[in-house]
Amino acid sequence: MRVTRTVAETRLTCTSVPRPLGFVPTMGALHAGHLSLMAAARKECATVAASIFVNPTQFGPGEDFERYPRNEGRDLRLLEEAGAALVFAPPSAEMYRPGASTSVHVGGPLTSLLEGASRPGHFDGVATIVAKLLGIVRPDRLFLGQKDAQQLAVVRRMVADLDLGAEVIAVPTMREPDGLAMSSRNAYLSSSERRGAARLYRALQQGVVVARLPKPTTDVLRTVEADLARREDDPAPRLEYVALVDPDTFEPAAQPHRGHLLAAAARLGAVRLIDNIIV
Ligand code: AMP
């Protein structure tokens, strides 16, 4: 496995590998969710490249950029075991050079609602770094997690609108045995918070049960709210939003439909949890 630190070396290496080339971008602190993206990429591609870059421009002021978990040695070992041929792990100065003045903005409800409303500027940071990485690695296929469903939709839109040429492939969310979606940020949870965090997925599951019945949207959302409001021993995540949306546009749906997304964000202690289920 080759580890590259510069744009030039990465681009050169990627031009001569067997195709199709699959690409798995990450911010490191790898868990089984990341490894499931690697496994999906390995299955479908002759070569797999990954990246590790904690992208400063997708963190808002007061978010966890400084304390985001970093452990490159462990990540590189895991990526090697997972079959990566190349890992691009640039320093920040390589990705954001002096004088840089371009960013990518995907417009519409896709970036103004839900995560876009909670985290202003976040998706501009994501779109810009993904566009840059695609320009450097030039993969045939890009593997992204369904867990970050809105990010997935934003990147799909950008790749289509800008003719970036990679096929975007969504990989299902990997969960802990109690249902909690795996996330690098789960490491910040105390043990009681960790137990309480699984309540978010259980509440979404209750919502989906209702969504699959012929009932109005409000019932679905209220079901999730009510489930999280129940008194239990473990602390409840405090709901920031719960919504039923079209998975491509993220426009709120009037009625639940097959294929719609029930998506939520909630806070527990210092951690912001997001999750979603496809109805
Ligand atoms: P991150 O390192 O958090 O930026 O995530 C890198 C990629 O892994 C993104 O495409 C995420 O959607 C994906 N990912 C994160 N958590 C999971 C999970 N639990 N299951 C599947 N994919 C995930």
Nearest CA residue ID for atom 14, ligand 1: 145
Which residues are known to be catalytic? 34
Q: How many other CB atoms sit within 10 Å of the CB of residue 247?
A: 20
Ligand 1 atom nearest 148 alpha carbon: 12
pLDDT digits (tens, 9 = 90+) for 90-143: 999 999 999 999 999 999 999 999 999 999 999 999 999 999 999 999 999 999
Q: What is the pLDDT of residue 215?
A: 63
Quote the CA–CA distance of 209 and 171 in Å, as a whole number. Answer: 23
Q: What is the pLDDT of residue 216?
A: 63
Q: What is the mean pLDDT of each run of 10 residues along the chain (279 residues)?
A: 98 98 98 98 98 97 94 98 98 97 96 96 98 98 98 98 98 98 95 97 96 79 96 95 96 91 96 97
Distance 61 CA to ligand 1 centre (A): 22
Quote the CA–CA distance of 173 and 20 in Å, as a whole number. Answer: 24
Six-digit token pair at 223? Answer: 């079901």
Distance 235 CA to ligand 1 centre (A): 25
Ligand 1 atom nearest 146 alpha carbon: 12
**47 CB near ligand 1 (under 6 Å):** no
**156 CB near ligand 1 (under 6 Å):** no
- Do residues 227 and 87 touch, judged by C-beta distance below 8 A? no
Distance 215 CA to ligand 1 centre (A): 32
**271 CB near ligand 1 (under 6 Å):** no
- Residue whose CB lies within 8 A of the most ligand 1 atoms, among 27, 37, 54, 273, for a mutation test: 37
Quote the CA–CA distance of 191 and 211 in Å, as a whole number. Answer: 32
pTM of the full structure: 0.97
**186 CB near ligand 1 (under 6 Å):** no
Cβ neighbors of 196 (< 8 A, separation 6 or more) are 232, 234, 235, 236, 237, 268
Quote the CA–CA distance of 122 and 34 in Å, as a whole number. Answer: 20
Q: What is the pLDDT of residue 217?
A: 65
In sequence order, what are the beta bridge partners of 264? Answer: 242, 275
**148 CB near ligand 1 (under 6 Å):** yes
**174 CB near ligand 1 (under 6 Å):** yes
Q: What is the pLDDT of residue 169?
A: 98
